[in-house]
Amino acid sequence: MTAGKLISKSGQVTVDPCLRTSNAWDRMRGLLFRNAPVPGAGLLIDPCAAVHTMPMSYPIDVTYLDAEFRIVKRVKKLQRWRLSACRLAKMTLELAAGQAHNLNLRPALELRWQSV
């Protein structure tokens, strides 16, 4: 996993800290069997166009991004034992429930990745 942050085109830090993974095991695992993410922190899974919350013990917000880091879909408080997908997505950002709203992540918002 790579540490970094997601920044809006205006330069405002949006998700910090953020871990990014493209490793097959980490992509499959996502936030499963991990503590709930800290508010403001996220996990960027690349590539990823679908997630499940089985057998997670807490709900999450899921934000789907295209190849240019543009948000194409947002799912609020995806409950345990659910599936979600977005055919336009190339990446998925997993956050603590309620954080997508708190961080003002909305469809069409353009982000960029910055490694630390």
* CA–CA–CA angle 107, 111, 115 (5° rounding): 145
- Whether residue 99 is predicted with pLDDT greater than 70 in this model: the reply is yes
Question: Residue holding tokens 């690349």?
Answer: 46
Helix (H) or strand (E) holding 3: strand 2-8
Tens digits of residue pLDDT in 66-91: 999 999 999 999 999 999 999 999 99
Tens digits of residue pLDDT in 28-49: 666 665 676 788 999 999 999 9
**Domain boundary assignment for the chain:** 2-106
CA distances for 1 relative to 29, 43, 45, 82, 83, angstroms = 12, 9, 10, 25, 24
Look up the pTM and report it: 0.91
pLDDT of residue 25: 66
- Greater model confidence, 51 or 27: 51
Q: What percent of the chain has pLDDT over 70?
A: 90
pLDDT of residue 59: 93
CA distances for 78 relative to 41, 52, 67, 81, 83, angstroms = 17, 9, 23, 9, 8
Rounded-to-integer distance, Cα 9 and Cα 28, Å: 29
| CATH code for the structural domain at 2-106 | 2.60.120.1140
